[in-house]
Each structure stands twice: as structure tokens, then as C-alpha cells.
């Protein structure tokens, strides 16, 4: 498992977004703090995975490019579907992600597929691999019309999850990764039910256990979490040094996995997560690590948004 990051050099919240009401230009992020929080996340992931992660160069004017999860959806060792962004401010990102993937040094380049003009698709923010399926949110940023294209390109079954605005709520859940965590090894999904339809919940329940998430955890982006299976964790030997806080987290994680051999993996989650959610994750035999990501919450994001598989 290797992750792609983009330093938040130009990160900002320049406008109101009707789909993402976390965004408020009157509450801009503090860039120095955002950089510090991002560096800690990257260092932690490098330590947990036992290797340095990959990075794509940030571009001036592209304030959301730090959210690499949305740039593309990787579904094979060197295959990806490029995003076609709905917000105008993000559309120029796609060319940079395309160039990066085509020239990616560890695979001699990806095979990159693009959807037709007018069919929006926001990468791994909406699409996620789950065993032999692709779970894909649609209705806010990703078009319903994108799903058959994804199915044709990948040759995999696409499970549609319709995203809807919760009744009486100002906040909408604009990507699938804002309202759900999928834990493949536990065959479980933790979902905020009011952000989707009853039909979608029933569809998910045919192949995994669905656990209800609270409104507070969803609105605080606590469901936007990086899941690292046990098989990918660096549980002994060398890892890239990340400073005292990261080194202490790695020490505690290694001790926990030594004491509890049945742990399925680790989850990097925002420190906004409730005790109830953390208890659910522990009961499912995952080891949660909480991180402060306050500046990225101002753009409606968590650790999952800030990373992508590569």
C-alpha cells in the first residue's frame, strides 16, 4: 500500500459551495497550521507503511489540489479513471493528475481512462474498491451517468449509492467518503443513513453489515478515514523517522498489535471522532489513531481526502 499526497502550499477556501457547506470564505484556513497538520499525516502514513509516500507538485491557483483522493480512481496495479470535476475551481487539476499518472515511475506509467464531456466523476471521493465490487456514490458531485462507464472500463460490478441532502439539514454530504467508512476485512460499512436512500442502504446490506453512524460524526468528517489493513502495516523493523509524536504513535501501535494478534488493521481518523465511533472501530478489531486536522475540516475534508492510493 502506497499513498499519494499533495502539499497544501496553495490551500484556501475562496468561495461558498452549495454542495459543501463546510466552506466559508469568512473562516479561511491558517496555512501554517494546515502545513503542520499535513506533514504529520504524511509522516505517520510513511511510518505505519514502512516507506516514504509519493507526492504530486501543488499548483498555484488550485486551492483544492491537496485533496488527492478526488483526482482519480485507481482500480488496478497501473490503471485509473481520471476525475472530471464538477466545481469550476477544480477542473484544471485533472491535467496535472493525468500527467503524473502517465509518467509514474514505479509502474512505467498508468493506463488512464477519461469519461465523456459532461459526465462528472470525482475519483476516489465517490468510488471505492470493495472485494470484487466498486461502491460508487452519485447525485452530488458524480453524475449517475458515470456509473455505467466505470462498469464498462473496469469490468467490475458497480454498486450505486445515491447521495441526498438530509432533510432539514444545512450540510450535504457531497462525496461518498464524507458519509461512510468501508471496512472490507470486517465486511462492514459504517454509514450515516440520512445522507443516502433506503434503497441504497438495502443494497449495501446484501453484502456487508451496515452500522449506523451519528449525525455529529458525519458532519465533523470523522467518517473520512484511512483504513490500513494489518498486512500492509510495518509492525517491526525500520520505518522513516517522523518526529517524537509519530514515533510514539508507532510504538503504541506495534505494542497493541503484539498484544492483540487478532487486530485487523489501523485507521487514521480525525480527532473529531466520537468515543462511540472509536468504540465501534475497536470492537471491529481496528486500531484507531486520531489526528488534529482542523484546517482541512474548514473545506469539509479529513485524512482520506488528503491521500490517494498509488
How many Cβ atoms are within 10 Å of 208's Cβ, its own excluded?
Answer: 20
CATH of domain 3-309: 3.75.10.10
Q: In this predicted structure, what is the pLDDT of residue 91? A: 97
CB burial string 5-42: b at 16+ within 10 A, e below: bbbbbbbbbeeebebbbbbeeeeebeeeebbebbbbbb
User: Can you tell me whether residue 154 is helix, strand or coil?
Assistant: helix
Instruction: Tell me the pTM.
Output: 0.96
Which uninterrupted H or E stretch holds 305? Answer: none
Q: In this predicted structure, what is the pLDDT of residue 49? A: 97
What is the rounded average pLDDT of the residues 279-305? 97
What is the rounded average pLDDT of the residues 159-188? 93
Q: In this predicted structure, what is the pLDDT of residue 148? A: 98
Beta strands at 133-138 and 127-130: parallel, antiparallel or unpaired: antiparallel
pLDDT tens-digit map of 15-44? 888 778 788 888 999 999 999 999 999 999
pLDDT tens-digit map of 57-98? 999 999 999 999 999 999 998 999 999 999 999 999 999 999
Residue that is written with C-alpha cell 517491526 in the block: 236
48, 250 in Cβ contact below 8 A?
A: yes
Q: In this predicted structure, what is the pLDDT of residue 2? A: 96
User: Mean pLDDT of all residues in the chain?
Assistant: 96
> Would you list the domain boundaries of the chain?
3-309
How many Cβ atoms are within 10 Å of 244's Cβ, its own excluded?
Answer: 8
Q: In this predicted structure, what is the pLDDT of residue 139? A: 96
Q: What is the DSSP string of 274-304?
A: -HHHHHHHHHTTEEEEEE--HHHHTTT--TT
Amino acid at each position: 500500500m502506497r499513498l499519494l499526497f499533495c502539499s497544501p502550499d496553495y490551500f484556501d477556501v475562496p468561495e461558498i459551495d452549495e454542495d459543501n457547506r463546510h466552506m466559508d470564505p469568512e473562516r479561511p484556513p491558517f496555512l501554517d497550521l494546515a502545513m503542520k497538520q499535513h506533514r504529520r499525516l504524511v509522516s505517520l502514513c510513511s511510518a505505519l507503511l514502512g516507506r516514504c509516500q509519493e507526492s504530486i507538485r501543488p499548483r498555484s491557483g488550485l486551492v483544492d489540489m491537496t485533496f488527492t483522493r478526488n483526482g482519480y480512481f485507481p482500480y488496478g496495479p497501473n490503471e485509473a479513471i481520471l476525475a472530471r470535476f464538477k466545481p469550476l475551481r477544480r477542473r484544471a487539476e485533472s491535467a496535472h493528475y493525468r500527467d503524473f499518472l502517465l509518467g509514474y515511475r514505479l509502474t512505467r506509467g498508468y493506463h488512464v481512462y477519461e469519461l465523456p464531456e459532461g459526465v462528472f466523476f470525482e475519483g476516489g471521493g465517490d468510488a471505492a474498491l470493495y472485494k470484487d465490487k466498486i461502491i460508487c456514490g452519485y447525485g452530488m458531485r458524480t453524475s449517475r451517468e458515470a456509473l455505467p462507464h466505470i462498469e464498462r472500463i473496469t469490468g467490475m460490478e458497480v454498486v450505486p449509492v445515491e447521495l441526498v441532502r438530509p432533510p432539514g439539514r444545512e450540510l450535504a454530504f457531497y462525496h461518498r467518503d464524507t458519509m461512510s467508512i468501508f471496512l472490507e476485512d470486517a465486511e462492514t460499512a459504517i454509514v450515516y443513513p440520512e445522507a443516502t436512500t433506503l434503497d441504497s442502504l438495502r443494497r449495501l446490506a446484501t453484502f456487508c453489515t451496515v452500522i449506523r453512524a451519528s449525525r455529529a460524526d458525519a458532519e465533523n468528517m470523522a467518517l473520512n478515514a484511512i483504513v490500513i489493513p494489518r498486512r500492509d502495516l510495518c509492525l517491526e523493523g525500520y520505518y522513516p523517522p517522523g518526529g517524537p509524536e509519530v514515533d510514539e504513535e508507532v510504538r503504541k501501535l506495534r505494542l497493541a498489535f503484539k498484544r492483540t494478534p487478532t487486530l485487523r488493521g489501523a485507521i487514521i481518523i480525525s480527532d473529531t471522532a466520537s468515543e462511540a465511533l472509536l468504540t465501534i472501530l475497536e470492537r471491529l478489531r481496528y486500531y484507531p489513531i486520531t489526528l488534529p486536522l482542523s484546517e482541512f475540516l474548514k473545506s469539509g475534508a479529513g485524512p482520506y481526502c488528503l491521500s490517494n492510493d498509488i
